[in-house]
Amino acid sequence: MTQRDTTHGYRRTPTGRRRLAARLPIVLFRAGLGPLFAGRLLLLHHTGRVTGLDRQVVLEVVAYEPADGSWTVASGFGSGADWYRNLRHQPKTVIQFGNRHHAVTAHFLPPDEGAELMARYALRHPRTARRLCAFMGFPVDGSTASFREVGQAIPFVRLDSAERGD
């Protein structure tokens, strides 16, 4: 049974050793080893909405559109995740993808778009999608419909490159 945050309905963010393990990719990105993640992860810089301090989090890329200069990520811990709330407050920021930095603007996607993104992600990465859903506390049966249902519930954010001209 998974622990759910009673405020937002999602599993609580990791603490202790699990938090250290989750933050290890940040160290690897800082050391110039971002290409090790083969385009699956990005490092998001965000500004603390209360402190004004620079914060960082590594997120899995759900969809990448190189021609458009956009990356889509999901907040597996819901709309209460600090990085998500910080982007709501200050949507213009910087990401590191591989060893390149990109100025981006966050756009918060509607649930229907999230449903389709999750269904497509599950087709490309079925085992990872099932594991992620279980980790977040969402039961899935492996069907496209169950992944769409999860995608309706998870907040998705598209990070559009400033070079796009938006």
Mean pLDDT of 101-129: 96
pLDDT of residue 66: 94
Task: State percent of the chain over pLDDT 70.
Answer: 85
DSSP three-state, residue 3: coil
For 133-143, how does the pLDDT look when each residue is reduced to its tens digit (9 = 90+)? 988 889 899 99
For the four alpha carbons of 57, 63, 69 and 73, in that order, the dihedral sign comes to: negative
Residue of higher predicted confidence among 160 and 21: 160
Residue of higher predicted confidence among 53 and 77: 53
Q: Is residue 20 part of a domain?
A: yes
Query: Rounded distance, CA 8 to CA 4, Å?
Result: 8
Query: Rounded distance, CA 93 to CA 90, Å?
Result: 7
Structural domains counted in the chain:
1
Q: What is the CATH number of the domain that holds 70?
A: 2.30.110.10
Residue of higher predicted confidence among 21 and 31: 31
DSSP three-state, residue 118: helix
Q: Is residue 89 part of a domain?
A: yes
Q: Is residue 64 part of a domain?
A: yes
pLDDT of residue 163: 79
**Torsion angle, alpha carbons of 46, 127, 78, 138, to 10:** -170
pLDDT of residue 76: 84
Q: Is residue 68 part of a domain?
A: yes
Q: Is residue 41 part of a domain?
A: yes
**Averaged pLDDT of the chain:** 87
Range of the domain at 48: 16-109+157-164
Asked if 147 and 122 count as a contact pair (C-beta separation under 8 A), the reply is: yes
pLDDT of residue 9: 45
Asked if 144 and 52 count as a contact pair (C-beta separation under 8 A), the reply is: no
Q: Is residue 137 part of a domain?
A: no
Q: Is residue 141 part of a domain?
A: no
Predicted confidence band of residue 164 (pLDDT cuts 50, 70, 90): low
Type of residue found at 127: R
Task: Compute and round to an integer the Cα radius of gyration of the chain.
Answer: 15
Query: What pTM, to 2 d.p., does this model score?
Result: 0.84
Task: State percent of the chain over pLDDT 90.
Answer: 68
Q: Is residue 122 part of a domain?
A: no
| Cα 142 to Cα 4, 74, 150, 155, 159, distances in angstroms | 22, 19, 11, 20, 28
Mean pLDDT of 101-112: 97
Predicted confidence band of residue 20 (pLDDT cuts 50, 70, 90): low
pLDDT of residue 6: 38
Q: Which of 107, 82, 105, 84 is nearest to 93 (CA)?
A: 105
